[in-house]
Amino acid sequence: MFFAQKYRLIVGFSKFHKFILVVSRGRFMSKLGEYPVLIIHSKGRITGKIRKTPIIYMHNDKDYVCVGSFGGSPKDPEWVKNLRSNPQAELEINGKKIFATAEFVIGVNRNILWEKLINYYSGFSYYQSVTTRCIPIIKFTSKV
């Protein structure tokens, strides 16, 4: 029950956030606090429609790294499911678009990156503590 309310809040804020980011072409709300935000444009695995999702990210070398935490939900967020189906995506950062390929980080590389991520944003550690699923880490590599 609690998560259903939390889910509605996350989804509602995400829609509002996406609207402001798109309309302002990244001039407003391109950060959540001190954390930069990008919009992932991914193809819906069921509908085939392009879905846009704002999410905080971390740079790792030349890559962009995002976490499918969904506030510690027991299920992966839809954007993660879409990328599992089709790893081709477009990232929109401050109004500029970059074509990228998503890679789900696993094994030792995941462990190393997870430590960097929880040092970057400690909330990720909390989200992992409230769910039994392994929260996915997605690395986006630019196609340029």
For the residues of 98-113, what is the DSSP string, one character each? EEEEEEE--HHHHHHH
Could you give the angle at the alpha carbon of 86 between the alpha carbons of 85 and 90, nearest 5°? 140
pTM of the model: 0.83
CA distance 29 to 21: 6
Q: Given this model, what pLDDT does residue 40 score?
A: 96
Spacing of C-alpha 1 from chain mean position: 24
CATH classification of the domain holding 44: 2.30.110.10
Is residue 120 within 8 Å of residue 58, measured between CB atoms?
yes
Instruction: Write the pLDDT tens digit of every residue in 100-125.
Output: 999 999 999 999 999 999 999 999 99
pLDDT category at 128 given cuts 50, 70, 90 is very high
Indicate the range of 16-30, 81-95, 102-116 predicted with least confidence.
16-30
The domain of 30 spans 2-142
Q: Given this model, what pLDDT does residue 94 score?
A: 86
Domains identified in the chain, total number: 1
Could you give the angle at the alpha carbon of 57 between the alpha carbons of 53 and 59, nearest 5°? 145
